[in-house]
Amino acid sequence: MKKCTRCESTNYVKAGFKKVSKGKIQQYKCKECGRQFTGQEKYKKLDEETKELIFKMYEEKGEQRKIARILGVHLGTVQHHLKKTQKI
């Protein structure tokens, strides 16, 4: 079930469509806070286990491109998490 991106309420109504490059996407309006949302996540968040694997593989002299390929994430994601913790 879809949830509001601001208050996580499941109390919403349909509120038209949003035009995107691939056509159109149904929009919803939250009855609790009034926010409009599509119910689709823009980005998939990395779980803590994957973040730890990035660090462990890098410490074992793993190449960044290789880590990204093995874990199935974008190279920029690997670089971002390494830079964020000053491992680079």
For 18-40, the pLDDT digits (tens) are 888 778 989 999 999 999 998 77
The single residue listed with the structure tokens 């409009």 is 36
Which one, of 42, 11, 10, 8, lies nearest residue 25 by Cα? 42
How far CA 12 is from CA of 4, 58, 66, 75, 78, in Å, comes to: 8, 44, 43, 37, 36
Bridge partner list, 9: none
* Residues 8 and 28 grouped into a single domain: yes
The single residue listed with the structure tokens 């199935």 is 72
Domain with 53 in it? 48-84
Report the predicted TM-score, pTM, of the whole model to 2 decimal places: 0.53
Three-state DSSP at 23 gives strand
* Residues 36 and 52 grouped into a single domain: no
If one counts the domains in the chain, the total is 2
- At 4, the pLDDT band (50, 70, 90 cuts) reads confident
* Residues 57 and 79 grouped into a single domain: yes
